[in-house]
A and B are shown apart, each in its own frame.
Chain A
């Protein structure tokens, strides 16, 4: 058991940096932990380079910041791992790992636009 963490993942900086509290990763719900592990696992298996994923994550966060207003509503914009999930799904499709129809067509929309998701 000498598995080590990948510093390219553990130490991403800026907006993509993993949310931490006193240094430890913070996952609010089990799905966040799972989707974190999924993206890391597929990278470790060589399905893509970490930078491929990181670039998409940056794009997701940037897109949300452009469209998102100021935070006066209780749930102003999607959380970090929602961006992570959207970036991961898009990457799977772009890399041909999953067919678009295999991934819930709604889901990409749902993440970038949680208000719509509410009415689903």
Chain B
């Protein structure tokens, strides 16, 4: 396996456990065995089937963009938190219970009416997964990685974001050591919304900085 660039540990090491290894027969046997176990535990009243479905979904989805959205919403409603987030992002994010980074530091960059931030990884696909989950396919694509630096406004236009010439665009290149998260502007007309309602407005793309958050 050749490395596509000089950084040795940019992407996580390939994990052999990610490869499926069981034969169809083994899978079938395991499927039946877990089913039996599940039925037994349900019959004992120890778990409810709905709980199991929800639990798996939580662990699959919750370790994802929702975490980032909570960070953003908290920053919108709590100025002291926002201050901590902009100065010591890794610690501020951990305050909400989100960590799991392996030595990388988080940096949060704030969008304002005058400055628009966007995040890219020009070398591969470094991404703050504990707060954003799985990177979108386009984030890993060669055109996004190269063009974000050469023509950020053009890229943003393709995402439907037309910025005024007076707005400064800053492009942040992620690395093995630094992962960026954009703190989008809180949309106007959301003053009455609760933190929980604000969480729902924040999208993954807004936290990468290719769109704005809309009310």
Contacts and interface: CB of A to CB of B under 8 A. Distances in A.
A and B: bona fide binding partners = yes
Contact of B56 (A21, A33, A77): A33
Contact of A19 (B17, B64, B135): B17
A38 interface: yes
B129 A24 contact: yes
Contact of A5 (B38, B47, B59): B59
**Interface size range of chain A in the complex:** 35 or more
**Interface size range of chain B in the complex:** 35 or more
Contacts of A21: 15, 18, 134
Given A104-B33, A118-B25, A23 B20 contact: no
Contacts of A38: 34, 37-38, 41, 47, 52
A89 to B, nearest CB: 7
A11 interface: yes
Interface in A82-97: 82, 85, 88-89, 97
B58 A7 contact: no
Interface of B: 12, 15-18, 20-23, 25-27, 29-31, 33-38, 40-41, 44, 46-47, 51-56, 58-60, 62-64, 97, 99-100, 125, 127, 129-130, 132-135, 196
Interface of A: 2-5, 7, 9-11, 19-31, 33-38, 40-42, 44-45, 47, 71, 74-80, 82, 85, 88-89, 97-98, 102-104, 107, 110, 114, 117-118, 120
Closest 5 CB pairs of A and B: A23-B129, A31-B34, A37-B52, A28-B20, A19-B17
